[in-house]
Amino acid sequence: MRWFSRIRTGVNPILKRRQAEQDLDAELQDHMEQEIADGIRRGLPAEEAKFAAQRLVGSISLYKEECRDARNFGLIEDVVRDVRYAVRSLRRAPLFTAVAIGTLALGIGANTIIFTFVEDVVLRPLPVSDPGALTTLNWGDISNFSFPNYLDFRDRNTAFSSMAAYRFNAASISVHTRDSFRAWGYQATGSYFQMLGVRPLLGRFFGPADDRRASPNAVLVISHRLWQGRFGGDPNILGKSVKVDGFPFTVIGVAPESFTGTELIVAGDYWLPLGMQPRIEPENDFVRWRTSQNLWIIGRLRAGVSRAQATTNLEQIAAQLEREYPNDMAGHQRLSLSRPGLVGEALRGPVTKISIVLMAIGGVGLLLACINLAAMLLARASDRYREIGIRLALGASRTQVIRQLFVENFLLAAAGGMGGLAISVAVTRFLTSWHPAFDIPIGADLHLDSTVLCFVLAVTVSTTLLFGFAPTLQAVRINLIPSLKNESILKRFGRWSARDVLVGVQVALSVILVISSSLVIRSLRHALTMDLGFDPGNAVSVSFDLSLQGYNSEKSRHFDATLLQNASHIPGISSVAVANSLPLRTGGNDSEYVSRTDRPLPGTSERHLAMVYNISPGYFRTLGTRLLSGRDFNGADRQQNLPVAVVNEALVHSLFGNENAIGKHVRLSLNAGDPGFEIVGVAATAKYRSLNEDPMPAIFLPIAQTGTAWTTLIARSRLPAAEAADLLRKSVLDLDPELTVFNAGSLKEQLALPFFPARALATVLSIFGALAMVLAATGLFALVAYAVARRTREIGIRIALGARPSQVLGAVLGPTLALSSAGILIGTAITLAAGHLLSSVLYGVSPRDPATYLAALSVFVLVALLACWNPAARALRIDPAYTLRQE
């Protein structure tokens, strides 16, 4: 029970502090009176007795102090007092406090945002049961598998308790006629929900029994968001009929709010069995082909099976498949497993890399802010030399002084932490509520949770320790006598103090940040101005899907022809074309193996994949792609005539080398008897899938010979983009008012998605770069200003003895110049050495690009000079007569 009474005596006095104080007063008063009474009893006169008693009792307040200590009121009350004192002393230096809290808030805020992103996008497990056992399969660089391969992996493996395959794509959904909208969702195998172990919010999920090829009872699961939004939370939603791409489905379940599918950054709105895919896409029979790699596979490991064992098992199956189907396999590709949620390794890899770079930069930024603060605190500690000296002289123990300084530092850090939290809350709110004009629902749901709060707390505490440690130690390592005599300052003159070294380190870190951010920004400028192979300026497009309205190939060809005819007459539009898809458009692009018909079928290792586009005449002119040789399609390229194709330069280069490709034939199948397409033109190579892809072969086929259901109408026009897009939309709806028109807008707008990662990274980096620059400048400024201030007297003497201005400047700036050049050199060396870390996010810029280094460094030197200017000028203006008299 001893601990209990301890706590009681420890806490009681605080709760009943006033009571305890009164008791103590009463007790001591009582003692005094008894002493007086005793004196009178011994025969002293009353007055005398009182004096005698007072002499004996002495300083009552001192006893009280000791009694309080004895009762260990101590710690908490002391801390409360320290906090009050700290608030007072911080309020006395408002500029210092504002700068300190501001830099910390920025540093902590930026790191919190980065951490929130990493936690929610990279680290967050899928919201399913036992997500740790789930894993995505990757084959080589890609995570896509064909349906036959999926079946073989599923049936032959011994490592997974279950496997599911799915694809993510868009569909037109309509509840009533004339009310269709476009939504993205999953086509998944029947094992999908069982394997994930998610519970439906309403109704049931589909299982293997619902996933039969073109089963007559078509079932659909919808997302919570779709249910609440489009269906207004209809409680009788189950059993309702909903058309997906024109085919009726019955809603059997609603997914819980937390579950938006197995990919984290895109939110799915519906799930339907993969078996139903032939119903809604009758012309796409990819499930039959081993070469059509359209599915992602996710599997649940059996209990006790390691990832390495599972990989070995899958590799064996892959080897078997390569033996059995030598023509259909891409050659020896390694199988690997990765955490699900970010489209296998294809997206997770780059996202992880970018996260690491971001976290490193954020960490360095925060370190920089800490160092800056430490330097300011050191300067302040020197200013407070006298104050601390007085406190020590008056009997404060060193522990008390240290504790008080720590409380002060912690207050700063706590305020910075709160500010950082506020900043990150604001930014993540903005990011979550921000709906960019992308076609795909980006669902990165950034939110603050307990993990993030713990992170902020940990960062705050460690920054307190980081920036408070050195200054606090220096503050109490104090000699009483000189500090009281105000001499201290001259004693330390001429040596490098911890503070000077800190400024050097700070300069080095800032150089690292400034150079790396300039590199990334330059790389982004490259990306933004690079030749895409087409010109998105002044181009608008609208997309629609004819299969929804049951158009067959013949009907859609007719529709496209009429549409082109009508649209080309719209005033203000200079050229129009239609295509099944556009370069850099997310989703829905096909690629096929392409080969020359005058050569035997190539082996697995020498095959070339080509992007396939179906286009109308005028496509190249409208999109601004140069036609290098040959001709564009024309009205003569019809179905009954010879199949023709336009190919890009990259395809010519990989199949024909330096030969003239015009007139040659290429085939898009692995069938040796295929007569193929005659090449009639060669176009410039564009970017098709991503901005940093290598030149990719592409082949363009006339829409009049192939037909397509997914159609994009493109136009080049001088009209404002919104107006032009409206005119196009109207021309489509004039022909068929039941169509769903989507993705209407300028091409520039639609390119926001591919440019997004580079833009985001560049924004973060420029903020950090600017912050680093400001911190380094303030650090240098403070260093020089402080050097001038503490050496005012010395400089005065020097001037009085006839020092020239240049000598004075040398004395003031010398150490600073030495420090900053050392810092710049070290920072440059570190950046050069760590260049390979950056190379993964740089595009078109070497991590050791001399021009960038030169530019960043000269800006840096300029800023450093500016920072030194004011205090150096002040040193020159020192009036010896005045300073010598001052002290």
Partner 1 sequence: MNGWAIAKRINQISQEVLQVHQGSLYPALHRLESQGWIKAEWRDSENNRRAKFYALTASGRKQLKSELENWRRLSSAIGLVIETI
Nearer to partner 1, 50 or 748 (CB): 50
Nearer to partner 1, 71 or 240 (CB): 71
Could you tell me which residues are beta bridge partners of residue 742? 543
Nearer to partner 1, 5 or 870 (CB): 5
Distance CA 457, CA 222 (A): 40
Task: Give CA separation, 231 vs 221, 224, 374, 868, in Å.
Answer: 13, 10, 58, 65
Q: Which of 15, 17, 22, 23 binds partner 1 (CB under 8 A)?
A: 23
Nearer to partner 1, 7 or 453 (CB): 7
- In the complex, the smallest distance separating the C-beta of residue 393 from partner 1, rounded to whole angstroms, is 22
Distance CA 38, CA 678 (A): 128
State the Cα torsion 410-415-417-418 to the nearest 10°. Answer: 140
Distance CA 539, CA 544 (A): 17
Stretch touching partner 1 by CB under 8 A, among 30-38, 458-466, 636-644, 720-728 = 30-38
Q: Which of 27, 283, 487, 554 binds partner 1 (CB under 8 A)?
A: 27
- In the complex, the smallest distance separating the C-beta of residue 23 from partner 1, rounded to whole angstroms, is 7
How many Cβ atoms are within 10 Å of 233's Cβ, its own excluded? 10
Nearer to partner 1, 31 or 199 (CB): 31
- In the complex, the smallest distance separating the C-beta of residue 64 from partner 1, rounded to whole angstroms, is 9
Q: Which of 70, 98, 214, 832 binds partner 1 (CB under 8 A)?
A: 70
Nearer to partner 1, 71 or 798 (CB): 71
Distance CA 564, CA 578 (A): 7
For position 62 contacting partner 1 by CB under 8 A, the verdict is yes
Residues from 220 through 249 that contact partner 1 (CB under 8 A) = none
Q: Which of 71, 555, 730, 798 binds partner 1 (CB under 8 A)?
A: 71
For residue 710, which of 593, 578, 619, 610 has the smallest C-alpha distance? 578
* HSE-CB of 55 using CA atoms within 13 angstroms: 7
For residue 307, which of 482, 539, 137, 496 has the smallest C-alpha distance? 137
Cβ atoms of 544 and 734 closer than 8 Å: no
Residues from 713 through 772 that contact partner 1 (CB under 8 A) = none
Nearer to partner 1, 42 or 836 (CB): 42
Q: Which of 11, 15, 26, 457 binds partner 1 (CB under 8 A)?
A: 26
Nearer to partner 1, 26 or 866 (CB): 26
Burial 252-265, CB ≥16 within 10 A → b, else e: bbbbeeebbbbbbb
Cβ atoms of 621 and 682 closer than 8 Å: no
- In the complex, the smallest distance separating the C-beta of residue 48 from partner 1, rounded to whole angstroms, is 19
- In the complex, the smallest distance separating the C-beta of residue 55 from partner 1, rounded to whole angstroms, is 11
Nearer to partner 1, 14 or 861 (CB): 14
* HSE-CB of 261 using CA atoms within 13 angstroms: 31
Nearer to partner 1, 35 or 632 (CB): 35
- In the complex, the smallest distance separating the C-beta of residue 53 from partner 1, rounded to whole angstroms, is 10
Nearer to partner 1, 57 or 490 (CB): 57
Classified as helix, coil or strand, 415 is: helix
How many Cβ atoms are within 10 Å of 561's Cβ, its own excluded? 15
The set of residues, in sequence order, having a beta carbon less than 8 Å from that of 57 and lying 6+ positions away, is 28, 31, 32, 35
Q: Which of 25, 48, 66, 141 binds partner 1 (CB under 8 A)?
A: 66
Cβ atoms of 620 and 702 closer than 8 Å: no
For position 22 contacting partner 1 by CB under 8 A, the verdict is no
Residues from 32 through 61 that contact partner 1 (CB under 8 A) = 33-35, 37-38, 56-59
Distance CA 263, CA 394 (A): 66
Nearer to partner 1, 30 or 449 (CB): 30
Q: Which of 44, 63, 102, 396 binds partner 1 (CB under 8 A)?
A: 63
Nearer to partner 1, 37 or 722 (CB): 37
Distance CA 659, CA 647 (A): 14
For position 879 contacting partner 1 by CB under 8 A, the verdict is no
For residue 542, which of 714, 736, 773, 410 has the smallest C-alpha distance? 714
Nearer to partner 1, 44 or 753 (CB): 44
Distance CA 42, CA 34 (A): 12
Q: Which of 17, 19, 30, 248 binds partner 1 (CB under 8 A)?
A: 30
Nearer to partner 1, 2 or 91 (CB): 2
Can you read off the two tokens belonging to residue 322?
């390569």
Nearer to partner 1, 22 or 858 (CB): 22
Nearer to partner 1, 27 or 487 (CB): 27
- In the complex, the smallest distance separating the C-beta of residue 44 from partner 1, rounded to whole angstroms, is 16
Stretch touching partner 1 by CB under 8 A, among 25-33, 158-166, 566-574, 769-777 = 25-33
- In the complex, the smallest distance separating the C-beta of residue 15 from partner 1, rounded to whole angstroms, is 15
For position 69 contacting partner 1 by CB under 8 A, the verdict is yes
Distance CA 198, CA 209 (A): 18
Distance CA 870, CA 837 (A): 38
Stretch touching partner 1 by CB under 8 A, among 1-9, 422-430, 723-731, 847-855 = 1-9
Distance CA 786, CA 779 (A): 10
For residue 373, which of 342, 340, 410, 402 has the smallest C-alpha distance? 410
State the Cα torsion 143-148-149-151 to the nearest 10°. Answer: 100
For position 19 contacting partner 1 by CB under 8 A, the verdict is no
Helices and strands in the chain: count of H runs, count of E runs: 30, 22
The set of residues, in sequence order, having a beta carbon less than 8 Å from that of 45 and lying 6+ positions away, is none
- In the complex, the smallest distance separating the C-beta of residue 21 from partner 1, rounded to whole angstroms, is 13
Binding residue count for partner 1, defined by CB under 8 A: 27
Nearer to partner 1, 64 or 608 (CB): 64
For residue 289, which of 140, 163, 145 has the smallest C-alpha distance? 145
Cβ atoms of 300 and 265 closer than 8 Å: no
- In the complex, the smallest distance separating the C-beta of residue 75 from partner 1, rounded to whole angstroms, is 14
Distance CA 395, CA 473 (A): 18
- In the complex, the smallest distance separating the C-beta of residue 10 from partner 1, rounded to whole angstroms, is 8
- In the complex, the smallest distance separating the C-beta of residue 400 from partner 1, rounded to whole angstroms, is 19
Would the CA dihedral through 13, 14, 16, 22 be positive or negative? positive
∠ at Cα 705 (699, 711), nearest 5°?
Answer: 75
Residues in the site for partner 1, rule: CB under 8 A? 2, 5-6, 9, 23, 26-28, 30-31, 33-35, 37-38, 56-59, 62-63, 66-67, 69-72
